[in-house]
Chains A and B, each alone.
Chain A
Amino acid sequence: MANELTAGKTFGALVDIPRCIGCESCSVACKLYNGLEWEAERKYLTPEDRAVEPNKGLWPEDWTSITQYNPEKDGARTIRFVKNQCFHCDDPACVSACFSKAFQKMPEGPVIYDQSLCVGCRYCMLACPFDIIKYEWGKAIPGCRKCQMCAPRVAQGEAPACVSVCPTGALFYGEKDQVLAEAKRRIAENGYIDHVFGEREAGGTSWFYISDVPFAAMRFRTDVTTKPLPSYTKSYMAATPVVGIGWAAVLAGLYIYNNKGKDHLD
């Protein structure tokens, strides 16, 4: 719950890809803070192994992951590490798709999930443009799992667990406009590619990425829309009550018309 530090503010985080050394402090911190299990079959996957997984290493018990790519830069093979987690969209498709309100967007930024409200329909998974949400297929009472941006920490004015342990400053956290300004400052200072991934993608997100090599070389979804996803359906979904009530009125009118002057059989 928001306190005086966070009330009325929106927060975001920056991933400075060239500054990441692949130590995976962030993913360990995520496991520690969220009490996520270490699964034997995934424990020894390397960042390179995860980079070729369809889900980039995100599983129900892995809410953030590091993937390693070897893009060419100036003609030489380099190593770059990318942190993967929920982008926490400004206008999230999962929240829009969830009719039971298990997914909600907090005013501070995190998109959170409350399993006690979930009916298990998995519309959220279809809706997510970044394929982040994972379903607990192996459980008797399954839920959807994804990064919560450490909502209780954010609400108290603390950085998410992953950001709080980054040893190199590759992760940066703060009020969203400050984070965006920092991203642009770093782009200018280091000669990165002039694109903050997440600033406009999916209508804007809470997690921003900056890089010195093209995002497409690191399996970023570069074809994603810049319109908020719910806006695609909003215009005609908004007509639902009108159509519903209108159609009922039409049917009622027909009934009255057809029964006009007739005696009740009763």
Chain B
Amino acid sequence: MASKDGPTHKLSRRSFLKLVGGAGALGATLGMAGCGETAPSDRAAGAQGWMPSQYNVPAGWPVQVRGRVAIAPDNPSITRDSEKCILCGQCVEVCKNVQSVFDNYELPFKEEIICIHCGQCTHWCPSGAITEVDETDKVLRAIDDPDKFVVVQMAPSTRVGLGEEFGFPVGRNVERLQYAALYELGFDAVFDTNFSADLTIMEEGSELVRRVLGVNEHDGHENNTLPQFTSCCPGWVKFVEYYYPDLIEHLSSAKSPQQMTGPLYKTYYAEINGIDPRKIFSVSIMPCTAKKFEAARPEMNSASRLKGDPDISPDVDVVLTVRELARLIKRRGINFNDLTEVDCDKIMGEYTGAGAIFGATGGVMEAAVRSAYYLITGEQPPPGLWELTNVRGLDGVKEAAVNIPGAGEVKVCVVSGLANARAVMDRVRAGDRSYAFIEVMACPSGCQYGGGQPRSSSPPSDEVRTERTAALYQIDREAKLRNSHDNPAIIALYDNYLEEPGSELAEFLLHTSYTSRADKLTVKRIQEPTLI
């Protein structure tokens, strides 16, 4: 305010400079902080990471194979560590193109994530993100429990895989070291699933003979539907239940080897040795993740149902993959390479060459043909049937014709890999009845490269497959007995307990039935083929 004496309150030079300087400093600060600018995209948080597509120019990345398969948290077989996942799409590749499961359904899902548990994705996963569900703790707890009598069986192909985990060359047969390791781990009895495979041949082969000859002597379970499909592979069985429920009656009612001896440990073996079946804890070592699913199927408690005792646990309590067995051996500090070779328990461990080759594609077929010949003709198969080379090898679909007196020419087909199976199944569905017997294994080249075998190459290689397969046929070639029906332990089992293949008791313990899973998914609508 001006007064008569002139301006008395002038802005001093000092204050003026302070004001201007302060405003300038504020402006500069705000400017430096970025206020008032439009933030460009590269100022946004995040975005400092890495994507697999950045390996390539965007257009070079396989656009049809990307992301990953869905794995339900309650999947009994496989699990995934997402932190290790690099989204390379290899699980989608194998699930969709090798196994024809992924994307062979309409979305949305109905009530479950579709999976056949084959575990091939565990082999294809390059970063080890997908693995089997680890159940080694359950086994260790059972072994350490003095009240439990823990028995174990080991599948045909595990012996040509396990050594790879301990530095042996690919395909080395470490059977007797593996027996020793299992005893060393504390199992009370060690059995061989090769024995179970021989038993499977007796039941499945007899069923085949009855179907081929058109004899329908048993009620309910038996039918004369041909071709008969093998039922050893739980991935394949679930695949049929999902995608070909109309062909379920083609599946052999015989259980898989694992599930045949599971109840026998808790009945036959328990009775002979005077063991309380409620104390028996049955473990199996499998090259397979789907076996975990199979063992958990609700109907797989035959021993409990036979005895009418709900306290008897399921026929197979825990399934371990070969990788888990290796982990178990390492966890217990056992030096596998320094073990002394031993034999297993012969009462359910004696086996023939026919049982040994179950682990390779075509092996079940070859073993079945040998015994079918015997069951039809009453004579031993000619040596030519011991080398049924047409059904050997890594081809996805193989066929052979065998002349059996009394049955004429029997045509058989051997398939591995479910995309290959689809082609054959579509023919059967369309009415093709040229085959009498079709063997299907979900995993390409059979169990020896099953989803639970050691990851000796990634992605799976035919070199490994060839080595392991050769080792299995080597066992057969060197075996004293090469026909399942000649196995003395099998003969004793029938003489002392089961009477004969397909007897009432055998039907109850060794056979099963299948459920259509057609209501669990909508099969992909495909265009009608113009020609059939």
| Stretch in A20-28, A173-181, A241-249 touching the partner | A20-28
Please give, as numbers and ranges, the residues of chain B lying within 8 Å of A115 by CB-CB distance.
45
Smallest distance from the beta carbon of A116 to chain B beta carbons, Å? 7
Q: Is the CB of A76 within 8 A of B110?
A: yes
Please give, as numbers and ranges, the residues of chain B lying within 8 Å of A91 by CB-CB distance.
none
Whether A112 contacts B43 in the complex (CB less than 8 A), given A21-B107, A78-B108, comes out as: yes
CA distance A192 to B67 in the complex (A): 25
Q: Please, what's the 1-or-0 string for A140-160, where 1 marks a CB less than 8 Å from any CB in chain B?
A: 000101001011111100100
Q: Is the CB of A29 within 8 A of B9?
A: no
Q: Please, what's the 1-or-0 string for A152-195, where 1 marks a CB less than 8 Å from any CB in chain B?
A: 11110010010011111010000000000000000000000000
Whether A23 contacts B51 in the complex (CB less than 8 A), given A28-B85, A112-B44, A154-B41, comes out as: no
Q: Please, what's the 1-or-0 string for A94-121, where 1 marks a CB less than 8 Å from any CB in chain B?
A: 0000001100101010101111110000
The answer to the question of A83 belonging to the interface, with a C-beta cut-off of 8 Å to chain B, is: no
Q: Is the CB of B108 within 8 A of A212?
A: yes
Interface set, chain B 13-50, CB cutoff 8 A to A: 33-50
Whether A32 contacts B42 in the complex (CB less than 8 A), given A19-B107, A21-B109, A264-B1, comes out as: no
Interface set, chain A 61-108, CB cutoff 8 A to B: 63, 76-80, 100-101, 104, 106, 108
Identity of the chain A residue whose Cβ is nearest the Cβ of B4 in the assembled complex: A263
Interface set, chain A 195-252, CB cutoff 8 A to B: 212
Interface set, chain B 92-140, CB cutoff 8 A to A: 92, 103, 107-113
Please give, as numbers and ranges, the residues of chain A lying within 8 Å of B58 by CB-CB distance.
158
Q: Is the CB of B49 within 8 A of A1?
A: no
The answer to the question of A38 belonging to the interface, with a C-beta cut-off of 8 Å to chain B, is: yes
CA distance A108 to B33 in the complex (A): 24
| Stretch in B68-76, B145-153, B327-335 touching the partner | B68-76
Please give, as numbers and ranges, the residues of chain B lying within 8 Å of A168 by CB-CB distance.
67, 103, 107
CA distance A143 to B45 in the complex (A): 10
Smallest distance from the beta carbon of A239 to chain B beta carbons, Å? 23
The answer to the question of B219 belonging to the interface, with a C-beta cut-off of 8 Å to chain A, is: no
Smallest distance from the beta carbon of B475 to chain A beta carbons, Å? 40
Number of A-B contacts (CB under 8 A): 164
The answer to the question of B82 belonging to the interface, with a C-beta cut-off of 8 Å to chain A, is: yes
Q: Is the CB of A32 within 8 A of B51?
A: yes
The answer to the question of B403 belonging to the interface, with a C-beta cut-off of 8 Å to chain A, is: no
Please give, as numbers and ranges, the residues of chain A lying within 8 Å of B461 by CB-CB distance.
none
Smallest distance from the beta carbon of B59 to chain A beta carbons, Å? 11
Identity of the chain B residue whose Cβ is nearest the Cβ of A66 in the assembled complex: B70
The answer to the question of A139 belonging to the interface, with a C-beta cut-off of 8 Å to chain B, is: no
The answer to the question of B12 belonging to the interface, with a C-beta cut-off of 8 Å to chain A, is: no
Whether A38 contacts B51 in the complex (CB less than 8 A), given A21-B70, A263-B3, comes out as: no
Please give, as numbers and ranges, the residues of chain A lying within 8 Å of B51 by CB-CB distance.
29, 32-33, 161, 164-165
Q: Is the CB of B67 within 8 A of A1?
A: no
Q: Is the CB of B35 within 8 A of A38?
A: no
Q: Is the CB of A106 within 8 A of B41?
A: yes
Query: Residue B49 contacts which of A22, A34, A101, A143 (CB distance < 8 angstroms)?
Result: A34
Q: Is the CB of A155 within 8 A of B41?
A: yes
Query: Residue A78 contacts which of B36, B68, B72, B110 (CB distance < 8 angstroms)?
Result: B110
Please list the residues of chain A having a beta carbon within 8 angstroms of any beta carbon in chain B.
1, 17-25, 27-29, 31-36, 38, 43, 46-48, 63, 76-80, 100-101, 104, 106, 108, 110, 112-117, 143, 145, 148, 150-155, 158, 161, 164-168, 170, 212, 259, 263-264, 266
Closest 4 CB pairs of A and B: A167-B67, A34-B46, A25-B67, A112-B44
What would 17 more interface pairs be, CB under 8 Å, given A1-B42, A23-B71, A33-B51?
A: A18-B108, A19-B107, A23-B70, A29-B51, A34-B47, A34-B49, A35-B50, A101-B35, A106-B41, A115-B45, A117-B34, A145-B45, A148-B47, A155-B41, A259-B1, A264-B9, A266-B8
Q: Name 30 A/B residue pairs within 8 A (Cβ), A-sorted.
A: A1-B41, A1-B42, A17-B108, A18-B107, A19-B107, A21-B70, A23-B70, A25-B87, A31-B49, A32-B52, A35-B49, A100-B35, A101-B34, A101-B37, A104-B38, A108-B41, A112-B39, A113-B45, A114-B34, A114-B44, A150-B46, A150-B47, A152-B47, A164-B53, A165-B67, A167-B69, A168-B107, A170-B107, A212-B108, A263-B3
